[in-house]
Amino acid sequence: MNFRVASQAKRINLRVLVIVFDLLMVAAAWLAARYIAALLLGPASLGLKQVLLEINLVLMAQGFLQWRAGLYRGVWRFASLPDLGNLLRAALMGAVAGAAVLLVLEAPVELIVIMVWTFPLLLLGLLGLPRLAYRTLKDMRLEVHRRRTSQRTIVLGAGRSGRLLLPELRRRGSYEIVGFLDDNPALKNTEISGVPVLGAIDRLPRIAREAALDLAIIAIPSANNHQMQRVVEICERAEVEFKTLPTLKELGATITRVDDLKPVAIDDLLGREPVSLDWEAIRAGLTGKRVLVTGGGGSIGAELCRQIARLDPSCLVVLDNSEYNLYRVDYRLRGDFRDLVMETVLGDVCDSATVENVIDRVKPHVIFHAAAYKHLPMLQNQIREAFRNNILGTRRVADAASRHGVETFVLISTDKAVNPSNIMGATKRVAELYCQQLNRQSETSFITVRFGNVLNSTGSVVPLFNEQIRRGGPITVTHPEISRYFMTIAEAGQLILQAGVLGQGGEVFVLDMGEPVRISYLAEQLIRLAGKEPGRDIEIIYTGLRPGEKLFEELFHEHENYTKTAHEKILQASNSAGEMAWIGDRLRDGEAAVRCYDTAALRELLMTLVPEMGRTSRTPRRPTADVSHLG
């Protein structure tokens, strides 16, 4: 209340000052007009007592008329055309008032004529010019403040998204649009809604210096990963903050908005091009079906559950041995899919009773087996747990699926199962071999899906590097030349679904992963995306290859052929294992060794089942030229 009273008193005081100032200007205008008249009519017309009387009378009349003209309703800071109209009315009424005063005082006609012309003109100038000067100065100060608080922004990409973004940027007021940059030469030296196209994107470093840019907005949602890497590299050279719009797939049918802007993430640089899926075939294969996902609380399993839920299965059952992960996936699925019939089961795939109970009770049409240990360095010294979970757990679920007539069993494998040099890869390779052998003697279709590293999955290198960056470094990389294939979590889930409907049984499907990415490059990009400089702000330290770690990963075995499939980005590896009817006996030996905790016997057994273990190829084996365009 006190604040309101003080504010009102301040406004009244300012208005009184304005009135006093205007009355002084009225007196000054009258004196100047009388002086001009004296120059024209002679000094005798300028009597001091007469002039003082005229001024008093004019001040009373003019003050009243200016109030009635609305001259004090506005604020000088916002003086505009209506205020100019009020000033004109005040000046004209001033001419009338002055003439009336002179007539009352019986002044000569010649003096009245001169005063009627000169007084209103002088009054208009003395009242209007201070107001104009005040507003101009205030506008200049506001513009300087606005320039200091708004970001000088350039938009990279003058296509549809950039054009749609422009009015939103202007409306926000916190962006000062300097121009567009676009690689289309036809747009150079043109304008879009008054904003110039300044040239190609590679001019950004120069323009950033010349125009003192604060922000670059990458408005190219259709850019592929190589194009995005190039644009981000240019932004980094320009040493300017940059943000991007989501991809076309992420934007969907929504309108381009400022709120969509996001920092460039590592997925934008390393995630592969969006996979175009045959959703009709996937929907036909899963809609109305009972589906079981083992390991459904993990990164891949949870994404798989989310995508399956969209396809309206008759029932989705999620099995996981982590209470927290199971709670989290249950909470999210029930929140996002309220009509979904779902059951979550806390249990271990290595527990025969749990597996038998769930499959017998649910009778799933499709099983996606994602339950596995995957942390390579840890499993290198945990051979018993790796064998028990990855091999015996897979065997239990696969055997139960075959025994209860499950239509399709999809094993989720890894590129580390190809020529494995470590325990984790070897156990996944044995799981592949067992499912391929079981497919030969079962009515269930056993399908294997093999892919590389998944960005931002739990235990992957990206969260580790981000944590090291948050701590101020250093980032630890095992070798300068180490490289890996990468894909996004969403793409991994989609590939698994697509492979599930492509396969007839016995196939190993492999995503054509494109080019492998050096881990050192990944580390450098994560540092830069965090706003820091590699080597200056965050060090990268090379620690040497860990036991069982390879410089590169492979997608196919040395004697494994591959062919195209109905999907342009999914390849099919031929079964190179041949008949392995004896594998069941070896796994029974392995089960006995697990019970006895005989790690030496388990290691020897792995070497028997996977003789290529530890024999890495000299160069990575990738698809030949005839299918390289699939990447």
The dihedral over CA atoms of 478, 482, 488, 494, expressed in degrees to the nearest 10, equals -120
Mean pLDDT on 95-123: 75
Out of 222-231, 243-252, 482-491, 553-562, least confident range = 243-252
Q: How far apart are CA 450 and CA 507, in angstroms?
A: 11
Confidence at 630, pLDDT banded by 50, 70, 90: very low
Q: How far apart are CA 399 and CA 259, in angstroms?
A: 51
At 6 the three-state DSSP class reads: helix
More confident residue, 224 or 241: 241
Percent of the chain, pLDDT > 90?
A: 21
Mean pLDDT on 424-434: 91
445 forms beta bridges with 408
Q: What is the pLDDT of residue 271?
A: 54
Out of 368-382, 451-465, 546-560, least confident range = 546-560
- Helix/strand/coil (H, E, C) string of 274-303? CCCCCHHHHHHHHCCCEEEEECCCCHHHHH
More confident residue, 349 or 147: 349
Radius of gyration of the chain (CA): 40
At 220 the three-state DSSP class reads: coil
Instruction: Give yes or no for residue 189 having a pLDDT over 80.
Output: no
DSSP 532-557: --BTTTB-EEE--PPTT--SS--SS-
Q: What is the pLDDT of residue 68?
A: 62
Instruction: Give yes or no for residue 143 having a pLDDT over 60.
Output: no
- Residue type at 337? F
Q: Please confirm, yes or no, whether 416 is among the known catalytic residues.
A: yes
At 341 the three-state DSSP class reads: coil
- Asked if 243 contacts 218 with a C-beta cutoff of 8 angstroms, the reply is yes
Out of 162-166, 198-202, 456-460, least confident range = 456-460
Instruction: Give yes or no for residue 254 having a pLDDT over 70.
Output: no
Q: What is the pLDDT of residue 261?
A: 61
Mean pLDDT on 140-164: 71
Mean pLDDT on 61-84: 56
Report CA 507 to chain centroid distance, whole Å: 36
Q: How far apart are CA 616 and CA 554, in angstroms?
A: 10
Among residues 120, 193, 116, 187, which one has the least CA distance to residue 156?
187
> What DSSP character marks residue 575?
-
Q: How far apart are CA 408 and CA 365, in angstroms?
A: 7
Max mean pLDDT among 194-203, 272-281, 429-438, 463-472 falls in 429-438
Instruction: Write out pLDDT tens, residues 69-78.
Output: 555 554 444 3
Among residues 224, 225, 228, 227, which one has the least CA distance to residue 244?
228
Kind of pairing, strands 241-244 and 570-573? unpaired
Mean pLDDT on 257-273: 56
Residue 413: phi and psi, rounded to 5, are -115, -165
Residue written as tokens 């820091």? 532
Helices (H), 440-512: 461-470, 489-502
> What DSSP character marks residue 197?
B
Confidence at 358, pLDDT banded by 50, 70, 90: very high
C-alpha distances (whole Å) from 360 to each of 22, 43, 369 are: 96, 122, 16
Q: What is the pLDDT of residue 473?
A: 77
3-state helix vs strand vs coil in the chain, percent to 5: 55, 15, 30
When the pLDDT of each residue in the chain is averaged and rounded to a whole number, the result is: 77
Q: How far apart are CA 474 and CA 167, in angstroms?
A: 43
Residue written as tokens 């005839």? 626
Q: How far apart are CA 57 and CA 203, in angstroms?
A: 69
Out of 40-49, 220-229, 326-335, least confident range = 40-49
Mean pLDDT on 421-446: 90
- Asked if 180 contacts 204 with a C-beta cutoff of 8 angstroms, the reply is no
**Residue 507 φ/ψ region, left for φ over 0, alpha for ψ in the -120 to 50 degree band, beta for the rest:** beta
Neighbours of 283 (CB within 10 A): 15
Q: What is the pLDDT of residue 354?
A: 94
Confidence at 251, pLDDT banded by 50, 70, 90: very low
Tell me which H or E stretch contains 367.
strand 366-369
Specify the long-range contacts of residues 491-494, CB closer than 8 Å, at least 24 apart.
491/271, 491/272, 491/274, 491/275, 492/300, 492/303, 492/451, 492/454, 493/300, 493/303, 493/304, 493/306, 493/307, 494/275, 494/277, 494/307
C-alpha distances (whole Å) from 465 to each of 201, 414, 526, 529 are: 30, 22, 8, 12
More confident residue, 262 or 316: 316
Instruction: Write out pLDDT tens, residues 470-509.
Output: 888 788 888 887 877 677 777 778 878 888 888 888 888 8
Neighbours of 14 (CB within 10 A): 12
Tell me which H or E stretch contains 447.
strand 445-451
Mean pLDDT on 527-550: 77
Domains of the chain, each with CATH number or no CATH: 2-146 (no CATH), 151-264 (3.40.50.720), 279-454+489-513+552-628 (3.40.50.720)
Strands (E), 77-206: 151-156, 175-181, 191-192, 195-196
Query: 289, 374, 416, 428: which is the annotated catalytic residue?
Result: 416
pTM over cut 0.75? no
> What DSSP character marks residue 478?
S
Tokens of 231: 């644009």
Q: How far apart are CA 66 and CA 121, in angstroms?
A: 15
Residue written as tokens 């934007």? 251
Q: What is the pLDDT of residue 578?
A: 58
Instruction: Give yes or no for residue 617 having a pLDDT over 50.
Output: no
> What DSSP character marks residue 419?
S
Tokens of 619: 């160069």
Out of 214-223, 285-294, 450-459, 532-541, least confident range = 450-459
Peptide bond into 82 cis (omega under 30): no
Instruction: Give yes or no for residue 324 having a pLDDT over 90.
Output: yes
Mean pLDDT on 124-152: 68
Residue 37: phi and psi, rounded to 5, are -65, -40
Among residues 421, 424, 422, 448, which one has the least CA distance to residue 434?
448
Q: How far apart are CA 92 and CA 94, in angstroms?
A: 5
| 49-86 burial code (b ≥16 CB/10 A, e <16) | eebeebbebbbebbbebbeebebeeeeeeebeeebeeb
